[in-house]
Amino acid sequence: GWTYAVDFPATYFTKKQWKSCVRRRKWVRYRRYSALNSWCAIAPLHKDPTKEPFIDVAIGGTQIPGGNPSMLSVWAVTAHGRLMYRVGVSTTSPEGQRWSAIKLPNGLEVAQVTVATSGLVWCVLTDGKALVRTGITRENPMGEDWRTIDPPEKLKLAQVSIGTDALWAVSQEGSVWFRKGIKGEMSGICEQFATGTGWVEMPTKMAMVSVAPNDQVWAIGFDDRCLYYRTHITPSELTGKKWRLINVPLQLSRASSNASLSSSNRHSMCGTPHQHRHQSWSSLNRPQSTGDATALIREWEEQSHSAPTATSIKVWEKPVKPQSFQEMFPNDKDKSSVSIDSSELTDSSGNITISNESLSHSGESTIVSGKGMTSTVKVNPAAWSPVHSVGSMVGVEAHPETDGSVFDPDLTGESGVFGEDESNAAMYWSECDVLWCKVEAGACFVDPGNPPKWIADGQQGNANEASESWRVRILEELKERKKKLESLDFDYAACEKAIERSSWVKNGDARCKLKGNYEDCVIELEWISSDSGALDSGTFTILNSDGATTVLQFPVSEIAAVVCCSEPSAPRLAIHTPKLPKSKVLRLQFSSDIEMEDWLGHLTSVTCKMNNVYSRPGSKSIWMTTALGDVYVYDPVVAESNQLIEGTYTQDLEVQGKELPYETILHNGFSPGCSLIITVSCHDDADRLAFNFVSHMGLSKKATESHDIAFHFNPRLKENLIVRNTYENGQWGDEERSGGSPLKPGSNVVLKIVCDERKFRIFINDEEFTSYCHRLPPQSITHLRIKGLMTLHKILYTSPEVIIEPVSMFWRLMGGHLKKVETCSSGVVWGIGYDNTAWVYTGGWGGSFLKELGCNGEVNPMTDVQNYFVYENQRWNPVTGYTSHGLPTDRYMWSDVTGRHKRTREHTKLMSSRWRWISDWIVDFHTPGGVDRDGWQYATDFPSAYHGKKNFTDYVRRRRWFRRCQLSTSGPWKEVGNTKIVDVSLYKRGNGDGVEVWAVAANGEALYRRGVTESCPMGVSWEHIPSDQALVGISAGPLGQVWAVGKNGTSYWRFGISETKPIGEVWTNVEPPSGAHIKQISVGAAGVWALDTTGRLAVRKEVQPRVFPEGTHWQVLPAMPNDPIHIDQSVVTAKQGFRMVAVAKRGKQVWAVSGAGILCKRIGITAENPAGTAWTTGIG
């Protein structure tokens, strides 16, 4: 068994050699878990078990999506309100390894916990609220974060239970509630599926409920303490229809210490053996129990040491002499008026025979009285001897052959310890008048389509409901009402129709990229629509290739954009779901372009229906294009209607499950007119609280970055005062302390802060407390920070302008194929194709991607032309001159512009089937940098600066080949003349309907479009504006501002623009930032922004349009190499930067696209700081 090697560690061989100085061999020992079918006492948290005992435990997690089915999730609650997770629990190691404390939000204590088969965890807090664990996946079964769920109004929860897709709860008053919107399989990746969407009340009081893994529900009655079962629960109707009373005989298990019963005389039980052998469950079918069970319950509260094994069910045989319930138990006639005849006994479900189990040591005897059980039984709590096993206490059952003293000496060995007497089973099935206090259905599986006979038997008592008098009376009243309605002269066609739902499902095969590589899968889109559209819903599901296991599932409402991201011969879609924690971008690859476009159309159609966007976008819409030329638009009109309340726009900031310190972005800042309403609960031990309005703009004189605090609101509860102050340039100002403090420890507080022109107004519990004059411009505030010992309940943020959160924006695919889109406040939209053709928006929606699914308005055919480029590289050697044989470290001899990727003419493929070649490969003689007569460019080495003339030191050369292709598509666009343009900018002037349109022609000349209005968006004609330098970009803004970018990288502004002379007089040169080569410029209400060739942004400072329109100097935004949103692998000279920038014509909004293709919005822009302070990001 030895293997040999030279030394430790090394490669080992089976054969010994002369140089083998070390050897090793492996020993193997197998183990098997031997404590199954017995109780295993888990080691307590402390040496003294009473120091922090457990009060609740829950088990689940057997069906975590993609997880190991043998692993289990065990959660427990201690008497101190702590939540514990048992690590390492599995079917082969049920006791697990150790307890791991789960951190709870500050101040919260758990009273009860429940775990779903999917691993989803819900808890009930001591204050009656619910707590949900989010982010539970197979990689992280303990989850990531908490979300607090408010109970139904004016109620407190007492208990919850969860199955797979259903969660039921019981309030402290006994009312039963169902939580809608739960989806167990997707709860780990979609928070909405974990938290649900709302409560639905069930009109019955219950003491507790328990949900089975297949969502069947069991309950204990609130008043009668009987066992109930919820009938007709199906996957489509998880609430079921009605409660069914379940009457069952009480099983006294021989295996547990509280029910390990042994008779002092085997034949002393009442009744005949045959009667006990075949006692029916239906014999106990009565509304109330009979007899006093107080003594029995008191004895049953002892700790159990053994679990009973499964029982076997046999078909019931009709007894020789049918007996009524009163005949079997004559002493109960005075206690119950309900009788059961022989027919009910005949229809009973069957007899249950207890399987053989070992009996307990008889330490003491306790008399247990009950109907049908009058003998003396023995309870043996000391029948088990605990032994240590893997840090736990394992109960070992006594064996009848080795521990004979355990059993009653009267039990002779005639028939063995298990006994063959027919009357023996009756001792374990008896009608003791027990009030049920707990039910657990975690291991119960009842098929609702084929319920077991004993449930069907329980329904027989209600079989005659159809003939009940109350039912007959209601039917008669309905018939009379129908006759009266039919006699009335009423036009029913004028009545609003009832909501009719329709649904469809689309599925297909694709390849999905979730982590690294693309894997085969089955995708499914389900859509449920209603006549009104208000109840539309949809779900997108990804399953394994066999279609059996769900890999990912989320609602259609989570989709922010559906984008084509195809590559040659690889049709692909990207589904952006930025709010999902695990899959912010889902990429799918299809087998053909037709299939990809089909899915693109269906997904776009349902997402637009979900977001209620169909018609022409509003004038405040934001437009953008993708790298593949698709056009998207965001229309804030839906957000406006949802946010507008009493003249202001309101946003409910997300605070559920957030821990303190808490920080959030105020997307509209906190300028005058804004307000915040913060609802918190102070902890009993709270002292200093802080509400900080932060401005991310400060740089101290020591060049260390800091954040100014425009308003610091600091309640100090123990000192009974509230401090107000400002933190600026690394120093605190003078404190304001007057007014005392109405905040007390343990109190609930509603804090309202309103920003006026000169001061902040502070209200506490709807009473104005104080005010605080501005020391810093409130427009500079970008973030809210809260810290201290308190619990956040709600934060309401209001603003005079619509609040746009980039991550929540829904982008609609409009149709067409464009390189750039420009719009203005009048709603006129222009676009530029890749072939520099100008297009104008017609007001429609759709194109080839939608086909017949929902195109509207004017949709026209479109064509676009694009060039494919390939570079041929060569190196010089003294023997053969320039050849395609390079050095081993050289780039590919046929490559892209970077040289890092191999590209050949033969293997270049079109993007999709909608493209076609319209030329052959041709040498490009217009390559930037110049070429010689054969199209070559020369340089000293790869990579370097290339030039068109060969020098003595040039050892490498390259030339560019291109091939032209054409796209045939359609979209809501109309071609504007034949003039080719490279850039365009629009601005709506004054109160009229005229629109200023400036453009740059392909030859570098500036153009002005005359006659453009809302009714005539194409305009009439172009007017050429001469310039000394060829231009590459242009931008028009408010107050007659027009800036342009020259081919030499410098910027210009147009002097002399007025209402009478809209084209101005002359171009004035403005030097670019030092060492920068500007490639794009944008002018708007937030100033003049420029983008250079390295991806850096710069802002023109001190621009005063009517006094000093050219400004004084450029402020370059600092580079942030650690910010991942700026990483751009395609930029050769820099690893971070931006691709483009756009400044809104109205409102101080600045949008940009980062080098990585991520949408960014600038925040913190003020008149004093036009460059802003930070970026917020959207999709990308």
The pLDDT tens digits for 108-164 are: 999 999 999 999 999 999 999 999 999 998 889 999 999 999 999 889 999 999 998
| Residue whose C-alpha is closest to residue 1145's, from 1070, 1087, 1075 | 1087
The pLDDT tens digits for 770-792 are: 999 999 888 889 999 999 999 99
> Whole-model pTM?
0.60
Mean local confidence (pLDDT), 949-956: 91
Question: Does 350 score more than 70 pLDDT?
Answer: no
pLDDT tier for residue 1060 given thresholds of 50, 70 and 90 = confident
With a pLDDT cut of 70, the percent of the chain lying above it is: 78
Structural domains of the chain sorted by starting position, each given as residue range(s) with its CATH number in brackets: 1-30 (no CATH), 40-246 (2.130.10.30), 250-430 (no CATH), 501-605 (2.30.29.30), 649-803 (2.60.120.200), 813-846+980-1177 (2.130.10.10), 861-969 (no CATH)
Distance between CA 1134 and CA 436 in Å, rounded? Answer: 72
> What pLDDT is stored for residue 444 in this prediction?
86
The pLDDT tens digits for 1068-1088 are: 999 998 888 999 999 998 889
Q: Would you call 808 helix, strand, or coil by DSSP?
A: helix
CB count within 10 Å of CB 950 equals: 14
The pLDDT tens digits for 469-519 are: 888 889 989 998 888 888 777 776 666 665 566 788 999 999 998 778 899
Distance between CA 181 and CA 240 in Å, rounded? Answer: 15
Q: Would you call 375 helix, strand, or coil by DSSP?
A: coil
Question: Does 443 score more than 60 pLDDT?
Answer: yes
Q: Are 255 and 307 in contact (CB under 8 A)?
A: yes
Q: Which residues of 515-538 are buried (b: 16+ CB within 10 A; e: fewer)?
A: eeeebebbbbbbbebeeeeeebbb
The pLDDT tens digits for 671-715 are: 999 999 999 999 988 889 999 999 875 443 333 346 889 999 999
Mean local confidence (pLDDT), 225-251: 85
Distance between CA 954 and CA 479 in Å, rounded? Answer: 102
What are the structure tokens assigned to 187, written together? 């709860």
Comparison of pLDDT for 253 and 155, the residue scoring more: 155
- Which residues are paired to 869 by β-bridges? 962
CB proximity list for 1004: less than 8 A, separation 6 or greater? 1027, 1029, 1030, 1031, 1032, 1047
Distance between CA 86 and CA 63 in Å, rounded? Answer: 17
> What pLDDT is stored for residue 817 in this prediction?
94
- Number of helices (H) and strands (E) in the chain: give both, helices first: 9, 75
Distance between CA 436 and CA 223 in Å, rounded? Answer: 11
With a pLDDT cut of 90, the percent of the chain lying above it is: 39
Mean local confidence (pLDDT), 843-865: 81
Q: Are 1179 and 576 in contact (CB under 8 A)?
A: yes
> What pLDDT is stored for residue 228 in this prediction?
92
Tell me the H-state helices in 318-452. 325-328, 342-346
> What pLDDT is stored for residue 327 in this prediction?
43
> What pLDDT is stored for residue 697 in this prediction?
52
Strands 644-645 and 631-634: unpaired
> What pLDDT is stored for residue 564 in this prediction?
93
Mean local confidence (pLDDT), 324-348: 37
Residue 1139 has phi, psi (to 5 degrees) of -95, -35
Four-point Cα dihedral 847, 848, 852, 853, nearest 10: -70
> What pLDDT is stored for residue 742 in this prediction?
86
> What pLDDT is stored for residue 1129 in this prediction?
47
pLDDT tier for residue 1127 given thresholds of 50, 70 and 90 = low
